[in-house]
Every structure is written in C-alpha cells, then in structure tokens.
A and B are shown apart, each in its own frame.
Chain A
Amino acid sequence: MSAEKFSNPVVRWIDHRLPVFSMLDHEKYDYPVPKNLNYFWNFGVLAGLALVIMIVTGIVLAMNYTAHVDHAFSSVERIMRDVNHGWLIRYIHMNAASFFFIVVYIHIFRGLYYGSYKAPRELLWMLGVVIFLLMMATAFMGYVLPWGQMSFWGATVITNLFSAIPIVGESIVTFLWGGFSVDNPTLNRFFSLHYLMPFVIAGVVVLHIVALHRFGSNNPIGIDAKGPQDTISFHPYYTIKDMVGIAMFLLLLAVAVFFFPNAMGHPDNYIPANPMQTPAHIVPEWYFLPFYAILRAVPDKLGGVLLMFAAIFVLFILPWLDRSPVRSARFRPVFRIFFWLLFIDCIALGYLGGKPAEGVYVVLSRIATVWYFLHFLVILPMLSVFETTKPLPKSISEPVLATAKGAA
C-alpha cells in the first residue's frame, strides 16, 4: 500500500505518517466480500447504526437528566416539555432501543439460518452473543432511569432473581442495590453503568469486526469464496446496498418516533415510581419477554433463573452443538423446517412472556421452553448426524450466474 495512490497532498502527507487513509482504502476496496449477500446481511451495519444513535442521543439526554429518586421522573418530564427538542431526542432514544433489539434479533436469526456460527467463525459468533448480553444489561438499566412504576418494579423483580442463588444470593442482591431495597443508590449506580456499557459494547463490536474480517462474511450459500470471481469490493457495491437498508431502517424508526412513540413502552411507566404500590402485571420491555417466559415457566425460582441464563448460554456453545458441515439452511431441508419451528417458538415465548403467569399460559410457556432447549440440545446434534443434505454448488459464482441468467 503506497501513499502515492492519493492525489491530495495533505492526505498523502498524513497517510505517510499515520496510514489511516490506507486502512480505510483497504477496507473499502481490498476487503473481498461474497458477491451474493442478500438484504439480511444489512443488519450488522444497522445494528452498528443503532448503537451510534443510542450513544449520541443518550449523551444529550444525560446532560439534562437527574439521577435521583426525587428528581428523575420530573427531570424526564422536563426533557419532554422544556428542553429544546428534548421530546424528539428522548423518543428517538426510547424507540431506537427497541429497533436495536429488532435489528439484532433479525441479525441473530440470519446467523442461525445460514450457519454463520460455524467454523471458522465460532469466535465471531460468540463475541456477538457477548454483545447481545451487554445490550440486555444496558437496556435493563436504561429502563430503570425514568423511575416510573415499571422502572421500579422491573428493577425490583429482576435484581431479586439473584437472591435465588444459594448462600450468597441475598448478599449479592444487597450489593447490587447498594442498600436493602431498590432505592437512590441503585438508581445512581444504574445510571453510571448505563452510561459506561455502550462504550464496552462498542469495544466488543470492534473485536466482532476484527473477527469478521479475518475470514470475511458468510453468504446465503454458505460455501467459501474460491477466488476473485466469487467476490466484489465492499465499496461501492455493499456501501450502496447498506444505504438502502439504512434508509428503510430510518424510515421505520421515523414512523415509530413521530407517530407511535409510546407503542413499544408501557403506560405504567408514566406513573412515578411508588414502592408502596405494586402494578397489576409487572412486565419487562418487550424484547425481554421470551426470556421472561422461560423464567416463569419453571416453578422453582433458582431453576427459572438458571434456565433463563441457559437459554443464552446454549447460543455460546451452538457451534459445537450443530456439527453439520453444511452451513446454509438452503441445502439442509430438515434443518430448515426446524429453524422455522424455532422461530415460531421464540415468537410464542415472547407472546407468553407478556401474559399473566396463570392457567393455559403456564402450560404453553413450559411446552415452548422445552422446545427451545430441545432444538439446541437434541435436534441440532441429531440433525448433524442423520440429515441428508442437498448437493452444494461448486462455487458462489456458479449459482449466481445461473440465477442471474434466469432472473434477468
């Protein structure tokens, strides 16, 4: 990489000493990307965009927010009413959080469908699960900050889960709270951590991208690129394709922010926190509902907590549960059926998590929970052995050319 390729003398001078332009150039033009990525490959970039939106709006909100039990709720109302465009910044922050999870869930299911977690991308996948965990912690603490009824009671319920741990449980909960109930010290530390975590996420995102660029993107066919005929440069082909996704993302976000800003929230969070009055149904944010359903499906508290964490832990070991050498579901007819069953199962868990834990909902939650673990722990390992996969194409360009001829 020589500096001569830049015509601007200032760029050349800088690049000779600090090769940032060469680096960007390298990622833009020399980084080979499979030529057959579909629009589901937009969601990584969209997640990154969501993170940036969250950090920028969050920093501005923090300038106007007061982390104190007596002032938090009214400082948020102050933002909504008196801060210039404060309502806009807060509604973007609220809704972009939900969109972040929608995007990441699609990103995860994309990985599941096309086998993006398989060798040699196991660490890439596991870093993704770490990001997901950090996101959940960040979102949970962020939801506490407005100090509404659901903030307070959600925090109480979730932090209390740790009390299920034998012997040290109670001490851990006291430690988390900074006292003997969810109170001002809890709010303060949650605010501090809520501000810190996004930057930790950004750091892990860097690792995620470094791991990605080691072997490049997986693709819908799931076979490795065999040479230059199978790849194209990131710029302009995928920059422009990502822009279409970004436009769609921003459009949907705008519809939510400007016309349904509270649709994904809970009305109870516009009631100031009241430790003396428990809401009729305590529900977490919608993106936690599948895990909440798993938690409540188990009659034993410790069992529920363990199973909820296990639901995420199975994702960590997924690369070793699914041993099939074929990545993409396109060539795995049986896997494909089970993939969609898992998808329906997760939607069902989300629905059940929002329902009261009584009657038929409990039974259904248990069935859905069992199915979730059955899928990862039994079905996937068995499919790796018994499934007859379809023949794989010889290279990426072969089917691409074939469909291009057919479709054009």
Chain B
Amino acid sequence: MKRRQFLELTFLTSLTLASNPPFIYGRGKRETPLKVLILGLDGLDPNLVSRFIKKGSLPHFQRLISQGGFSVLGTSIPPQSPVAWANFITGMDPSGHGIFDFMHRDPSNYLPVFSGTLSEEPKKKISLGEWVLPLSRGQIKLLRQGKAFWQILEEHDIPSVISRMPSNYPPAQTKQRSLSGMGTPDIMGSYGIFNYYTTESGEINPDIGGGRIHQVYVIGHQVEASLPGPVNPFRRDRPEATLDFKVYLDPVYPVAKIVIGHEEFILKEKEWSGWRRVEFPLIPGKSVRGICQFYLKEIRPHFKLYISPVHIDPANPVLPICTPADYSRELVAHLGLFHTKGLPADTSALDNNVLNEAEFLHQDNGFLEENLAMLDFELQRFHSGLLFFYLSSTDQRQHMFWRFLDENHPAYDSQLARQFGQEIENIYIQMDQLIARIEKYLDKKTVLIIMSDHGFNPFIRGFNLNTWLFETGYHKLRNPWVQDKGSLFEYTDWSRTKAYGLGLNGLYINLKGRESQGIVNPGSEYEHLVRELANRLEAIVDPLTGKKPIYKAYITREIYKGPYLNQAPDIILGFNWGYRISWSSPLGKFPSEVLEFNRQKWSGDHMGAAELIPGILIANRKIVHPAPSLTDVTATIFDLFGLQIPLEMKGRPVLKIS
C-alpha cells in the first residue's frame, strides 16, 4: 500500500467511526425472523390490572389480552425486585445467581452490605502529606452470578438492547447496548440522597433517611450554602467534596437566581429547574461531574430549596452505567440529559415531607417522560432481535400512594385521598396509553411481552423480627435495658446469640464456622433450630388483628439447591397480606414492640409470600404454560429465537409461536 493510499484509508476510517459510532460496537447483527419487545413494568399487579380492566380504564390492555394472553407470573422468593429481575436475567433462582435480598450481610462482622455490587478501592496508593494518589484503578463489581440472557444472545449474533434492567449495575460485559437500572447509585455511591435547604428551624431533622436537611439564613437577600458531593478519595481524611452555591432573592418578587459552578439559572417560587450540571472539585485538574434538579419550594416567609440526589452525568459518566461505554453519550446527544440513578423517584423526600404529593408526582412524571422518549428512540431503530425496556414508576407510585386505597391504612388522609386517591389507577392508565403509543412500532413479526416482577399489597403492620428473636431468647443483648437504643447489633452478645434478622426478608443462624462468632453447630443442631424457628414464626398471631404476620417461613435449603446457597439467609420470611418487615429491624435495631403500625407514606409493598403477590405476564401471543414464572420468560426468549435453552436455566417456554 502506498503512503498516500494508507493516509486516505486512515482518514476515511476515522471519519466513518466518528460519524457512525455504532459501527464499532460489534454487537449482534443477525436478522431474526421474530422481534421480541419486552416491557418490564415493575410491580404491575395482576389483581389491579383485572380490576381496572373491568372498570374499563385499560382498553389497550384489554385488547392485547384478547388477542394474546394474560397470566399471573410466579415471582421470586423473596419477591424483591433485585432478586426477581435477577431470576429473569439469568433464568435461575437466587441460589444460581446469588442475589437473595437488597442487602446481604458480611458474616465476618454481621454488617449489612449491598447484595448486587461490590466497590473496591485502588489497591496501590501513595500518600503525600494530606493527599493520597492512587497508583491503580478501583473496581466496581457486579455480584450477580450467571450469564445474562443478552450475553447468550450475543454469542449467537442476535442483537439486543437492554434498557434500565435492574440488578445489572455495573452492566454485564457485552457489546450490546445496555443501560443499568435499579441498583445504579447516585454520585455519592448511595441509593439517593437529596439535600434540602431551609430557614425554618422546625424543619431541621438530622435523623432522616435518604436526605439531608440544612439550616440556611437569608442575609441581604442572599443565601449561601454548599452542596455535598462524593467522598474525596484524594484526601487522607476522606472528606466529602462540596460545591458552594449562592441564591439571590429579589426583595419583592417571588423569584431567585441560583449560581452554582458554571451554571446560573432563575427560578420562580414553586418551579423546577430541569437537569443542571454540577462539578465537584477533588484535586486541581480532577473533578466529578453530576446532574441534579433544583426545586424552589418557597421564598417567603421561609426560604426552602430542594436539590435532588446528584445523578451520574450520562454525558460524562464517572461510573460505569452502560455498554458500550459511549452509549449514554449517544442517548444524551439525541434526547438531552436524563436520570441515571436506578430508582429516580425521590420517595424519601415525600416520606419526610420535603416534597408533597403533587411535587413528587411532578418530578416522577418527568422521569417517566424521559424513559418514554428513550423507548421511542430505541423503537425507531428496533429492526431485529430483542428490546427490553424497564419502567419503575408503577412500583414507586404503588409504594407511596397505596395508603389512599384503604381508609383503614394508618397513613390514610381523607383530604389527600380526595386529591390523590386515583394516582395508582392513573399510572396503570398511563401504562395502558403506553401500549397504544408503541403499537405503531409493532408488526406481525414482533412478539410483545409485558411483565412485572411481583404484585403489590398494603403495608399496614411492621414485624420487628429482631425484637421477636430477642423476646423469644434466640438473640441476646449485652445490656437488655438499652434494647431500643443503638443499631447494627451494637449491643448484641454474639457469644449467646443463635439467630439474627438482616435484610428485608432474611433470618440468619449464628452458625459456627460461617459467622465469625457463630455458636450453633452445623448438622442436627442447626437443622433443628431452623425448623423450630420456621414453625414458631409461622405460628405467630397478631393480637390486634388475629392474623398471622408470617404466611410462610421458607427454609432456604429446602427450596434452593444452587451453587450460591451458602450465601442465602437460612430462613426467608414470606409475610402475610398487609404485613412487612418493620423499618427498624433490617438495620439491626430492637424496638420495644414486635408488631407496629406503619404510619409512613411508603404504604404499599411486596415483601410477602411469593404465593400472595405474583407478577403479571401479558403477551400478544397465546400463553400455553398454566403457571408461568419469571424464569419461564427467559426460556421463552431463547425459544422465540430458536435457540436451545441453556441447561442451567430452570424455565420452560410459555408462548405459542404461530
């Protein structure tokens, strides 16, 4: 090749790559006879769908069901979203993929850890006075085991797009387009921390979950404050990086200007800012970028400003949120900035009265619109293979608005119920309208599957598992008189403790050889104890209602046989209708009552027995399986593409391909 030809070829190749990045993705390219479109609607409840169809609120669901099929969909044990979606992703049960709960425990110290992700600091560092410089990269590992179905499709050259799949952060290695969903943290590495700035001292409460409330002062029509950011790993004392900002208030009109970093914008009272970029300086030349929304709740008489959790900037992601690495940038170029945190709805802000119901809905509707625009964008180029798209709004609305469906719920408020009593039905109607919206993209070769991971039930009474274990003598405290003080088993006497509760459904035996201070011998002592506990838990009766709070205590060794069984809780609690684990118990606390009312706005949930809250399966093809489960949907995908179902998967195909 002559030099000139070489230069021309290099130039042309660079031009092609720059103008058409997907060319280099190398994802599946096969033209498939069928296209599979899967909408994952978190928490879509089959009972409510049936009820709203009867009422005539869901005409598009009704038409789709009459053309294809409808079935309840067996959920995971426990029916928590990370567990259930991992079942679907891998086609295996939790003992096959290793996710048993939102939270697992570290048996060496009995502390909770995230079940899906492990963050590791750089192994090699050098200290220079107050500064620490990493010499290697830190790592974020996906702890879900097993191959994701789209990785197997990729091996067969079948293209797929996986958008916002839960239990997939950081996204599984693939050249297919994927964007991580539930489990993706905010920029602080948490599930989402909002910031609220107020001059009203009565609102200051240091003890709230999911947010921080800051006292500020208006001096000369000006407010100065700072926005907390991620921990600065370049400093020895690891302080939080912060970004100072100023708010200028007009002396008369309800309008203010916010100046933060390179951004400045004007908001009227009760206005949202949309996404704004913020940049937290770490060391000279190194900073972390994120995006967040501002809401000017009030200017006078009190100044109140809400700032949403800072999401990872999809145009410049500081953490791995997609595959290939420039996929999120491509989406930003076409759609503008969008949320990246796994569950974007700020339920903590609503629960803590920082946002009211209308403000919460306004924000969440914005997130939903972003998702729908992204779905439209992907549907326009969906010509072959599989497209999976996940929406969380169904789940989040039911969590927060279930209290208005039941006048007997402890958090019921008749005035609010008049205003917001229809919100759960409304989100189902929005999903119905979504079916109409996507219909134009469906042709005869498109198989449409709508699925949810679980159903819903009210959360009226909370069960304090650790208190029950303490009262029945299975858990010992060093100082019983401080029972309701402390957290994370601060006062536990592990040398005399046989069992402890951690996570949202899990009960662990303090097993010798597994737990660092275990006292229960493996073998018959362990087996006997587990059986005894399961029987006693199932026999508990709520003196107030006469109901059994625990519908089923699943002994994990009896229901699971996979390779990761050793990481499982020993018993998984399947709660009865209306019951759930309390707010305190998963944090290793011991409140005085075993059973307590849930007065939070978070009023609907899905920690029940799997038999009581199945998910839903709707398709535009006939459903031939009498009782399908999540893993059957995975098997169906392979069947639809004419692939052999991998041996480690448990499911069977459920759709009839005509």
Are A and B physically bound partners? no
Residues of chain A whose beta carbon lies under 8 Å from any beta carbon of chain B: none
Q: Residues of B with Cβ closer than 8 Å to A?
A: none
